[in-house]
Amino acid sequence: MDDVRTWQVPGRVNLVGEHLDYNGGPSVPFAIDRFLTVKVRRRDDDAVNVWSTLPDGTRERATFGIGVAPDDGTVSADDWAAYPAGAVWALGTVGPLPGVDLVLESTLPLGSGLSSSAALTVGVVSALADVAGLDVAPLQVARLAQRAENDFVGAPTGLMDQLAVTFGRAGEAVVTDPLSDDAPARVPFDLAAADLALLVIATGVDHSHRSAPAAQGSAPLPGGGYGERRAECERAAAELGLDHLAKAGLDALVRLEDPVLRRRTQHVFTETARVKAALRTLGEADFEQLGTILTASHVSLRDDFEVSCAELDVAVEAAVEGGALGARMTGGGFGGSAIALVPQTKARAVRELVEQRYDALGWKAPEVFAVRPAAGAHRTA
């Protein structure tokens, strides 16, 4: 067997542009300095053994064949092993693969909205392609990882997360365009130079974008609440005669009769405008204005897209009250994390106020920590 090779893959925070990727709109995520480490070693048979150690110390193991496929009964889509199995299956469409031993070690809180799933699938695709000697370009890695989540796991995600963890770079954010065939652009986002911190407030409220059970006699709803929002956006786009809802103009809000579809469209329309404004503020290093944009994004996600929850709302309100320039939920919603853009001198006060508010409500203390832009997936050994 060959020597062990090691890959490091970051999680990601989406700065602004939530629920736009599958609607054909831009987003501004960045890779963060919390990682998934993937260690891979070639085997002399067709087995794939996966050992996973989670941040809380929990250890799990799975075994399947290199020819694993969706719905073949080997790995259930509801099993954690569906993510590495999906990555193996997706890469297997590119070329022949050897059996491997995989060891996964993560500092990314699961279900926190920091895209641990994209880190896992991008990491397995990258590491396995390396061992197999397959020449897979970074953009193709991201797309294969997305295919693993979409077609094997059943999570109807866009491509934003995979692009962020693949193309991230220290001191920069990634500008994603889901309708482009080119690698994404980057924009400066140097927190240290501005004496700022970006705090993640992991609420501890888990979320999942896998298929959710439906009423008796109905088909499962892909992706739970996330899938429901995506389906609503697709209906709105169809009623407007559009391929993607992000192409909607202001007139769309008066053309749609369904008040729910109007609210979903209003979020997509205004969030797209917020991304464009955010890119200007990043270019000018106007972080006070950026903070205002983040808070406005949360209000839209809470009221128009309706994907927030009480824990996220309290985190955002307390962060702004404590001195943050702005704050919002990040990720698909229905739990997960909020982010707060905070002057370094006020980071402790913000964290303590959020913790106090949670304690007063009888909630479990959130995990609050600072992140900064980091390098995307890369081999370290």
Please confirm, yes or no, whether 56 is among the known catalytic residues. Answer: no
Inter-residue contact 95 to 132 (CB < 8 Å): yes
Is 59 in a helix, a strand, or coil? strand
Strands 47-53 and 196-202: unpaired
Question: What's the rounded Cα separation, in Å, for the pair 92 and 226?
Answer: 28
Maximum CA extent, the chain: 64
- C-alpha of 369 from chain center: 17
The one-letter amino acid code at 331 reads G
Q: Which residues contact 101 (CB under 8 A, 6 or more apart)?
A: 40, 41, 43, 48, 49, 51
The CA-based angle 250-340-225, given to 5 degrees, is 55
Q: Which residue has the tokens 């073949």?
A: 72
Nearest to 157 by CA among 187, 204, 119: 119
Considering the candidates 2, 161, 181, 251, report the single residue annotated as catalytic. 161
Strands 47-53 and 59-65: antiparallel
Inter-residue contact 237 to 243 (CB < 8 Å): yes
Sheet with 5-14, edge to edge strand ranges:
59-65, 47-53, 100-106, 29-42, 5-14, 378-379
Q: Which residues contact 260 (CB under 8 A, 6 or more apart)?
A: 232
Question: What's the rounded Cα separation, in Å, for the pair 142 and 121?
Answer: 9
The one-letter amino acid code at 221 reads L
Question: Which parts of the chain are beta strand (E)?
Answer: 5-14, 29-42, 47-53, 59-65, 100-106, 172-175, 185-188, 196-202, 326-330, 337-343, 367-371, 378-379
From residue 87, alpha-carbon distances to 110, 296, 358 in Å are 18, 36, 38
Is 197 in a helix, a strand, or coil? strand
* Residues tagged active-site: 161
